Amino acid sequence: MPFKRTACFLLALSTAAGLALACDAQDSTLRIQPGKLPALGTVDERFQSYNVEMIEITGGRFWAPYKQASSAPADTAQPTPGGMPASLYRYRAPIDLANPRLRKLAAALGPAYMRVSGTWANSTFFQDSDDPAPAKPPTGFNGVLTRAQWRGVVDFAHAVDAQLVTSFAISPGVRDSNGVWTPNEADKVLSYTRSIGGKIAAAELFNEPTFASMGGAPKGYDVAAYARDFRAFDAYIKKAAPEITTLGPGGVGESGVLAQMPGMKILKSEDILQDEGPGLDAFSYHFYGGVSKRCAIGPAAAVAGTSPEKALSHDWLTRTDRDEAFYAALRDRFTPGEPLWLTETGETACGGDPWAASFIDSFRYLYQLGSLARKGVQAVMHNTLDASDYALIDESTLQPRPNYWAAVLWRRLMGTKVLDTGQSPSPDLYVFAHCMRGKPGGVTILAINADKASPHELTLTTKSARYTLSSADLVSSTVQLNGAELTLTPAGDLPSLSGAAQPAGQVSLAPASIAFLAMPSAHNAACR
């Protein structure tokens, strides 16, 4: 919801209840009557979701944390995506999805979609037996997924109220003598999933076909090859698993900096959609506002990401709107009426910047959720749950990062029905509203003050419970709720997340702060 700097205005809404919100002509304060905000639409119950990369499940070399990247051994035994420098990666053992603390933390985000995919999934072989995994992947693959590992995924999803989203291998190992994709690997995964009581809710053919050459596709892979593969995939899914929502094309970066990186061969989503024909149930895309510091090497440095100094800028926060508009236009042109899913996003591509784990990125994260919900995007899957610098949870300590706490508050307070708050009088104040979760008639306002220097105000005609997120140091990994630092209890449980009483009237938002304002007694007819 990009806002322009404008003079104060009066916004009258054509509702039976009358005036819902306005801007005071003297002090430019946004005035909101929560009980009269009209509905814009709804989002999926699992709107706020997350990724667990396939390489986390199998074990292998994922993005090296900055504090360890320089000392990480350059193990070149396993291929790197697109031949990128081995020093960017560090070996990590398979994730322990049975860990009680991880399950407890993930359950607090449920219901959610859990997407198990990523670049490494494009060339992963499924060991469909209980035999030990081979010492090296079969020819045509770069990794091995065992039954035990996939059973752990299914068990985890059941335990944390997550529905599985995935993609399949498309590397040379799955192709017939004519180079055409076959469902051999997909069929093994789907059959085994069913046999253990699991279910895959949605699937893309493979991860990010826009950069197929970097993602394990055969040499010379082009739009015609993708269209041929998609038709084979679509025919297989409709026959073998019609209950699965077919997602695609899963493009990324075509309207932003990734497309500007020199030397990158891109298969355009427009060309893919033109050639592949019908078959999609929902339109998926990925979004990263830029490339992280670790990948800003050589020519990429000129078109990389951002810095902490610019992380609250209007340009950085609203880049998600630019990409949504780009892909929504393609959706409207080729698959009109289908839902839009953002199946992978994070602070920046290549594992996030050194400050991605700090409070300052929560502005990007919550702005993205609020703005995309307004636009009708049905699911937003954050990369990742607990791997690399942009994860919601620290993978080494299993301590929640600021974005995790932001996610929990969204999950507890923001329902599926989206309300219209109109336009803010300031380019640094972003205001969103949803029906309050679990409270018929209730409303929750999300107010983001991205101004580092000045407070901003809005006026609510209803009292609320206020949940303010702030930090004395914006690039700190700690965050305060109403002035108290958020930490787990000694037993690893979430603390009581209680709001502070906020009387009706003016609400002052401190510089660089975020506030959820929950009003269970708003009596909004659209929320009953």
Q: Cβ(114)–Cβ(155) under 8 Å?
A: no
pLDDT digits (tens, 9 = 90+) for 307-327: 999 999 999 999 999 999 999
The confidence score (pLDDT) of residue 87 equals 84
Between CA 73 and CA 79 the distance in angstroms is: 15
DSSP string, 380-426: EEEE-SSSSTT-SB-TTT-PBPHHHHHHHHHHHHEEEEEE-----SS
CB atoms within 10 A of CB 285: 30
**Whether residue 299 has pLDDT greater than 90:** no
User: pLDDT tens-digit profile of 223-232?
Assistant: 999 999 999 9
> Mean pLDDT in the chain?
91
- DSSP designation for 175: B
> What is the assigned CATH class of domain 48-417?
alpha beta
When pLDDT is cut at 50, 70 and 90, the band that residue 428 belongs to is: very high
pLDDT of residue 9 exceeding 90, the answer is no
CA distance 317 to 287: 12
77 has pLDDT over 70: no
What is the predicted pLDDT for the residue at 260?
Answer: 61
**Class for the domain spanning 21-43+418-527:** mainly beta
- The Cα–Cα gap between 151 and 518 comes to 39
pLDDT band of residue 284 (cuts 50, 70, 90) is very high
Name residue 114's beta-bridge partners. 50, 164
With a cut of 70, say whether residue 191 has pLDDT above it.
Answer: yes
The answer, yes or no, to whether residue 261 has pLDDT greater than 70, is: no
* pLDDT tens string 93-133: 999 999 999 999 999 999 999 999 999 999 999 999 999 88
- What local confidence, expressed as pLDDT, does residue 72 receive? 45
pLDDT in tens, 476-517: 999 999 999 999 999 999 999 999 999 999 999 999 999 999
Query: What is the phi-psi region of residue 253: left when phi exceeds 0, alpha when psi lies from -120 to 50, beta otherwise?
Result: left
Percent of the chain topping pLDDT 70: 89
With b for 16 or more beta-carbon neighbours within 10 A and e for fewer, the 230-252 pattern comes to bbbbbebbeeebeebbbbbbbbb
Question: What pairs with residue 254 in β-bridges?
Answer: none
Q: Tens of pLDDT along 151-182?
A: 999 999 999 999 999 999 999 999 999 999 99
Closest CA to 207 of 270, 107, 122: 122
**Any idea which residue has 């040379």 for tokens?**
172
Distance CA 421, CA 436 (A): 14
Contact 10, 330 (CB under 8 A): no
Position 424 scores a pLDDT of 87
Q: Tell me the pLDDT band of 83, cut-offs 50, 70 and 90.
A: low
Query: Is 21-43+418-527's fold the same as 48-417's?
Result: no
**What are the structure tokens assigned to 173, written together?**
């190992």
Domain residue ranges of the chain, discontinuous segments joined by +: 21-43+418-527, 48-417
